[in-house]
Structure 1
């Protein structure tokens, strides 16, 4: 059974850095079976974070094929991946697009994480677009069964991990094929 993700927009009063309250609308992602369940789940999740009154202004099906949290990342990025296939009947190359939501600290890391996610793919693909997503948090569904409890803990640990500060030193880890190096020496 495939997962259906719903993007839910929640409107509430938020206190900013200066202490002023302002009304804001923020998008969140929940895994649910229907719009009704998505509304119920986002109400439950937001009740734990927001003590004041809030309103769900919009719920729509999100077009993400996969969701991937990464350790030490704090923002969500939307990667567009084009799967390339050769159509033997027409003799043309066909592209099928899919969207992946993943965590990263910047665009370069999001690209690297997308490549890591696609590592096991047998076919050819390209990554034509990566953009920061406005989604603030992702709430996957877990039934509470013993095996899924471990998955939930792992997912939440990855989401909540603190980003590492990049070292200013760059280590060169380039490896060369010994035969090619021997040809040039």
Structure 2
């Protein structure tokens, strides 16, 4: 089962660099299988982050196909990527847009990081826009078996799935 990315807006009293406390509404991203799990996870994350009271103002499904963190980067950017495919019937190019969330320090670096993230793509693509995202932090779900450096929504390969199925059959036959 594939998880979905959720944008969660949380309002709380935040201590700024000047030492002044002000009410602030910040946006966080996390993956979950339902709104209920998203609410539970953001509550858990915020309880660890602040001792102040907070309110979850909004939770909505985010339209990110993939999320790419990069070390030594402090901001998140939304990259619109147009995948280009040739429609064989009409002979025309067809574009399909996907959105990536990439971590970078500025727009130029976000473009470079988007290009790095798309390195394994076999088809043609363009990057028509990159905008800074209001997302402050990303909380991916880790079961402990994943590589924490990359938390993309990639599906297991058929080979992996077939191998797991074969292992399950062997285990069932042993019992």
2:79 matched to which residue of 1? 79
1:155–1:48 Cα change, 3 Å: farther
Counterparts of 1:142-157 in structure 2, within 5 Å, are 142-144=142-144, 147-148=145-146, 151-152=147-148, 154=149
Q: Secondary structure of the residue that 1:137 maps to in structure 2?
A: strand
1:116–1:155 Cα change, 3 Å: closer
1:27 matched to which residue of 2? 27
TM-score (norm 1): 0.78
TM-score (norm 2): 0.82
Report the RMSD for the aligned CA atoms in angstroms.
Answer: 1.4
What is the number of residues matched between the two proteins? 151
User: Which has more radius of gyration?
Assistant: 1
**Structure 1: 5+ residue stretches without partners:** 157-185
Counterparts of 1:56-67 in structure 2, within 5 Å, are 56-67=56-67
1:133 counterpart = 2:136: no
Separation of aligned partners in 2, 1:95 and 1:32: 29
Per-residue CA distance 1:134-167 (angstroms, 9 max, x = gap): 10000001123xx33xx23x459xxxxxxxxxxx
Q: CA deviation at 1:16?
A: 2.1
**Structure 2: 5+ residue stretches without partners:** 152-175
Separation of aligned partners in 2, 1:103 and 1:39: 24
1:38 matched to which residue of 2? 38
